[in-house]
Amino acid sequence: MGNLQSGQQSSTILQDEEDEVESSNVEENSSKGKNQAVTPEEHTPGQAGDVGQHAALEDVEITADDGVFQEDSRPGSSLQEDEKEEPLVWDVDTSDFNKPKRSKPKLKLGMPKLKSPRRSAKKLEEESETVAVETDPNIPSCSATIETMSQRKVLDMKRWFCISRPQYKKSCGISSLVSCWNYLFSTLGAGTLKPITQEEALTILDFKPPFEEIRFGPFTGNATLMRWFKKLNDHYGVRGSSHFFYKPMGRNKTYGVSSDEALLKLKKSLKQDDIAFIYHCQNHYFCPMGYEDVPVKAVDAYKAKLDQTDVDTWILIGEPSRKQPCIHSIRWEDISTDLNNGNPDYIDIRRLWKGPLKRNTKKIGGNLHCIMAFQRNKIQTVKTAKTETFMDRFQRFGSMRSTKKKQDAVAMVTDQEKMATDGSGSEFSIDVEMTEEQPEEDTTESLHSDSSSD
């Protein structure tokens, strides 16, 4: 038994050695094949023996049927397999680095071509519905133009430029008068003379500085402003007139003029440049400058023509006091209510939130509030004393068409002047009623105006 085991061990050892020799020969042949690449042109007789030796080497094939190793008689097949298996290569995926770059769009001159967006069926239906709404006759369309809107919204900027603001304490009367005079006669408005200031006007009216210490309330009234206007015109050699434009209550009221008629006349006059206005409200004077007709219905916002019954008129009034807004917008209905009130009832037009108020006075009826008009005459000539008194009296009587009435008016004025020079009567008896009545009105006004500040 020992001899059999030793014989088997020796046979396994010899077989292992043979396998090692064959593997070493195969490695040497493969290395020689790499180092020496033999082409068919370079074969020599010595090399033919080597090729024969290589042909003796046989590759082994394994068949799946019997599991027995079979030798392949093809020369060099093992070398080709070794050459394929030996080189090592790293495969790197560079697909992320080789993505095509987006090219920037080139700028082209001219208008770009707009592509029509694809519209769905629903959008097309909606658009067709909107077009149908636009063409619906029940929907109002805009018929207003610049010309029609300029008749509805009126504001002469020159009137605003001439507003003397700010005023002195309680000097709203003279400040408003200077504003009207500058608009009528100065280059700041519609005239040709140099504009005047409040201080220059007060100096002409025989007031002396310091003007801030003057108490204007006790002596400033409606008739006072008219007399001052005449005195300024005489000083600068211009011709103008003044009158009560709308005063429905109290003395010197305007008979036969309704609120609607006064509004139409006021709107027409605000479009002219030869007339200016002063509105006397509760303890204050300020100047109407324009208006706006606001439609009552929203559908008439852009309607071209509207009747007076279809609009609410708001009067734009320039404010000389710095403590109030520069322009007041007041409904004509409120202004008419203010002017038609009688003592002791009144309203404060600048503070309508107070509602109807009552004065602490024993007098019943009458109202000092009014709208006064100051006008520039069309004919501007140098006046003398006689022509001045005659023309003033003639304007009060009104326009007289027949020559006979004119002669009677001239004779009446000359008789009054003779009576004044002889001492038999007061000068200009036509003025007696106004000069006697108006100071009483101014006195009551001064008591109210002195109680509160502008």
SS (H, E, C) the chain: CHHHHHHHHHHHHHHHHHHHHHHHHHHHHHHHHHHCCCCHHHCCHHHHHHHHHHHHCCEEEECCCCCCEEEECCCCHHHHHHHHHCCCCCCCCCCCCCCCCCCCCCCCCCCCCCCCCCCCHHHHHHHHHHHHHHCCCCCCCCCCCHHHHHHHEEECHHHHHCCCCCCCCCCHHHHHHHHHHHHHHECCCCCCECCCCHHHHHHHCCCCCCHHHCCCHHHCCHHHHHHHHHHHHHHHCCCEEEEEEECCCCCCCCCCCCHHHHHHHHHHHCCCCCEEEEEEECCEEEEEEEEEEEECCHHHCCCCCCCHHHEEEEEEEECCCCCCCCEEEEEHHHHHHHHHCCCCEECCCCCHHHCCEECCCCCCCCCCCEEEEEEECCCCCCCCHHHHHHHHHHHHHCCCCCHHHHHHHHHHHHHHHHHHHHCCCCCCHHHHHHHHHHHHHHHHHHHHHCCCCC
The whole-angstrom separation of Cα 315 and Cα 297 is 19
Nearest-angstrom CA–CA distance, 91 and 317: 92
Looking at residue 201, what is its pLDDT?
Answer: 94
Distance CA 199, CA 180 (A): 15
Q: Which amino acid is at 404?
A: K
Tell which wins on pLDDT, 140 or 221: 221
pLDDT at 13: 54
- What confidence score (pLDDT) does residue 14 get? 56
78 CB-near residues (< 8 Å, 6+ apart): 26, 30, 57, 59
Whole-number pLDDT of residue 130: 59
Report pLDDT for 38: 42
Tokens of 131: 């077009």
Distances (CA, A) of 437 to 234, 254, 257: 24, 16, 22
- Exposure string of 313-327, with b = 16+ CB inside 10 Å and e = fewer, is bbbbbbbbbeebeee
**Do 251 and 366 contact (CB within 8 A), yes or no?**
yes
In angstroms, the CA 163 to CA 176 distance is 7
Token duo for residue 119: 């519209």
Q: Quote the pLDDT of residue 161.
A: 95
Mean pLDDT of the chain: 74
| 393/389 Cα distance (integer angstroms) | 6
pLDDT band at 447 (very low <50, low <70, confident <90, very high): very low
Task: Point out the least confidently predicted range of 60-64, 156-160, 210-214.
Answer: 60-64
With 0-12 CB in 10 A as exposed, 13-18 as middle and 19+ as buried, what is 337?
Answer: middle
Label residue 74 left, alpha or beta by phi (over 0 means left) and psi (-120 to 50 means alpha): beta
Cα separation, 11 vs 189, whole angstroms: 140
Per-residue pLDDT reduced to its tens digit, 327-379: 999 999 999 999 999 989 999 999 999 999 998 888 888 899 999 999 999 88
Distance CA 408, CA 412 (A): 6
Q: Write down the pLDDT at residue 61.
A: 44
Domains of the chain: 155-381 (3.90.70)
125-180 per-position pLDDT tens digit:
666 665 544 556 778 888 889 999 999 999 999 999 999 999 999 899 999 999 99
Average pLDDT (198-207) is: 93
**Residues recorded for the chain:** 454
**Residue holding tokens 């509207």?**
306
Q: Supply 128's token pair.
A: 């067709």
pLDDT at position 218 is: 81
